[in-house]
Chains A and B, each alone.
Chain A
Amino acid sequence: GQNIDQPTEMTATEGAIVQINCTYQTSGFNGLFWYQQHAGEAPTFLSYNVLDGLEEKGRFSSFLSRSKGYSYLLLKELQMKDSASYLCAFPGDSNYQLIWGAGTKLIIKP
């Protein structure tokens, strides 16, 4: 089957670093996405990993280990505006849909 697990909620301090983990199970792997979703808004694309390793994009980095079925999103120099849900997702078997995790709600405190 296909499944995604993420922590429900995390809290971090402004200026700090936080790592949001995602574990997944899928029979065919076609990459792993991270999206950010502010409350009441649409998901916005953050990253897409196909190969193992760390990809850095400004304050955000995403890591993938296909053998472990594991990914994380690393957010550095946290800002209050980073308070949002972070959604891990991967394409379904047909590659025409995204299978979504429930999201990790990140709360940033001053």
Chain B
Amino acid sequence: EPEVTQTPSHQVTQMGQEVILRCVPISNHLYFYWYRQILGQKVEFLVSFYNNEISEKSEIFDDQFSVERPDGSNFTLKIRSTKLEDSAMYFCASSQGDEQFFGPGTRLTVL
């Protein structure tokens, strides 16, 4: 069964450093998403991506965040200058329609 994959599973970085989180969505899906979940809190929408451009973004998705689909398979989230409060699980998801399929997540820890 096709699934969304994410790498790395864990990432530890120093405050102020750049990180790139990688996702491979399900191959025939057209819509891609990034969500984050701070430990013990609710899942929060960051950004959605369709037809090679951002379709919607939340208030959280400020100038330090960017997304890219560099080739036909990968979908990346870049955080330019990490802050302590960026520590969270970051989930990638993809969909063809209504149901969104989630990847296993990347746990980002900013020290």
Contact surface of A with B, Cβ cutoff 8 Å:
31, 33, 40-45, 48, 87, 89, 91-92, 94, 96-103
The B contact surface, by secondary structure, is: strand
- Given contacts A43-B91, A96-B50, whether A48 and B43 have CB atoms under 8 Å apart is no
Assess whether A102 is in contact with B98, with CB atoms less than 8 Å apart: no
Q: Can you list 23 A-B contacts (CB < 8 A)?
A: A31-B98, A40-B89, A41-B105, A42-B91, A42-B102, A44-B102, A45-B99, A48-B98, A48-B99, A87-B42, A87-B43, A92-B45, A96-B31, A96-B50, A97-B33, A97-B45, A97-B48, A97-B56, A99-B45, A100-B42, A100-B45, A101-B42, A102-B41
Q: Tell me which of A41, A42, A103 contacts B42 (CB under 8 A).
A: A103
Chain B residues lying within 8 Å of A94, measured Cβ to Cβ, are 55-56
Q: Tell me which of A43, A96, A103 contacts B56 (CB under 8 A).
A: A96
Chain A residue at minimum C-beta to C-beta distance from B100:
A98
Assess whether A100 is in contact with B99, with CB atoms less than 8 Å apart: no
Q: Could you tell me the distance in whole angstroms from the C-beta of B15 to the nearest C-beta in chain A?
A: 24
A45–B97 CA distance with the chains assembled, in angstroms: 13
Assess whether B55 is in contact with A96, with CB atoms less than 8 Å apart: yes
Assess whether B58 is interfacial by the CB under 8 Å rule: yes
Assess whether B42 is in contact with A102, with CB atoms less than 8 Å apart: yes
Chain B residues lying within 8 Å of A101, measured Cβ to Cβ, are 42
Assess whether B98 is in contact with A43, with CB atoms less than 8 Å apart: no
Assess whether B56 is in contact with A45, with CB atoms less than 8 Å apart: no
Given contacts A43-B102, A101-B42, 6 further A-B contacts (CB under 8 A): A33-B98, A43-B91, A45-B100, A48-B99, A100-B45, A102-B41
4 tightest A-B contacts by CB? A42-B102, A96-B48, A97-B45, A96-B56
A96–B44 CA distance with the chains assembled, in angstroms: 13
Q: Could you tell me the distance in whole angstroms from the C-beta of A30 to the nearest C-beta in chain B?
A: 8
Chain A residues lying within 8 Å of B50, measured Cβ to Cβ, are 96
Q: Could you tell me the distance in whole angstroms from the C-beta of B5 to the nearest C-beta in chain A?
A: 11
